[in-house]
């Protein structure tokens, strides 16, 4: 599967889907290796202030981890190039029209958009309609 660079082609092939699990964002100053081993995060990002981890709500609850917002993940099936431009701007622009916050992680093959749990269905509808326009 080769990565797509053309924005029009990417938008026509988004094929978004809602990941089953619910997720939370957390931060910690503990060594990242220990956190990864114990919390099995979907994603991590290391910043000067501490490590950010995206973990399932289920794991957070089992470990009594405090969180403020529950997120759903919308994954895009399209393999967009890491060098393509405009995808995230287009998605966040459309979501912002409905006041839906979007937290994006770009994987090597796919992009993943985290939106508040109660806005996930609407966000999926919006993203699904982008390729139609």
CATH assignment at residue 16: 3.30.2130.10
**How confident is the model over 78-113, as pLDDT tens digits?**
898 788 888 899 999 999 999 999 999 999 999 999
Give the total number of structural domains in the chain. Answer: 1
Residue 2 lies in a domain: no
* 19 domain residue, yes or no: yes
Residue 88, domain member (yes or no):
yes
Phi and psi based region of residue 117 (left: phi greater than 0; alpha: psi -120 to 50; beta: remaining): alpha
Q: pLDDT tens-digit profile of 8-32?
A: 888 888 999 999 999 999 999 988 8
Distance between CA atoms of 62 and 50, rounded to whole angstroms?
22
C-beta separation of 23 from 75 below 8 A: no
96 part of a folded domain: yes
Residue span of the structural domain in which 125 resides: 7-130
In a domain, 107, yes or no: yes
Q: Is the pTM of this model over 0.95?
A: no
Please check whether residue 25 is in contact with residue 65, taking contact to mean a CB–CB distance below 8 angstroms.
Answer: no
């Amino acid at each position: 599967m080769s990565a797509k660079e053309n924005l029009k082609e990417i938008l026509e092939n988004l094929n978004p889907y809602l990941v089953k699990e619910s997720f939370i964002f957390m931060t910690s100053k503990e060594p990242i290796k220990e956190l990864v081993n114990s919390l099995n995060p979907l994603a991590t990002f290391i910043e000067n202030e501490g490590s950010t981890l995206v973990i399932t709500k289920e794991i957070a609850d089992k470990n009594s981890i405090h969180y403020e917002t529950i997120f759903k993940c919308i994954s895009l099936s399209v393999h967009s190039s890491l060098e393509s431009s405009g995808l995230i701007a287009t998605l966040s622009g459309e979501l912002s029209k409905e006041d839906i916050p979007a937290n994006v992680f770009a994987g090597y093959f796919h992009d993943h958009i985290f939106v508040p749990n109660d806005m996930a269905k609407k966000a999926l509808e919006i993203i699904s309609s982008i390729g139609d326009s």
